[in-house]
Amino acid sequence: MTTKTQSQTPTLQTFGVVALLAGVWLVAAILRPDSTFHLGPVLLPLVPLLTTPRESDPKQAILFGIATGFVVLLILGIGGRLDGPAFEPFPSVAAESVFALLASGAVGLVFARATR
């Protein structure tokens, strides 16, 4: 008799969803540099809470979402594609996006720890 064990790591599908959303955010920002896509940095760290199987730990995927968000911001910043308006009190879209990315990542990690 064999027993099946569940992996404690998120599935490849979870990482794929994060990468897909990052790609959508990147393409949209490249096509519309005068717009600000405020949800991009918020969603990347939070999506793993919805896509990670219940028996798995989403922390790795949340950290992947944060890292992926920083890569997207770096690409957009180098390409001069962060020219849209920022919410007050942020002086720039880059500052707003970094704050949103870190804040949503922190919320995701706290929520993952509390519910898993």
Pair 51, 17: CB distance under 8 Å: yes
Q: What pLDDT, in 10s, does the model give residues 46-77?
A: 999 999 888 788 999 999 999 999 999 999 99
**Rounded CA separation 104/46 (Å):** 7
Residue 8's pLDDT band, with cuts at 50, 70 and 90, is low
Cα separations in angstroms, 42 against 6, 9, 22, 31, 92: 29, 22, 11, 20, 16
Chain centroid to Cα 72, Å, comes to 10
Residue 2 has pLDDT above 60, yes or no: no
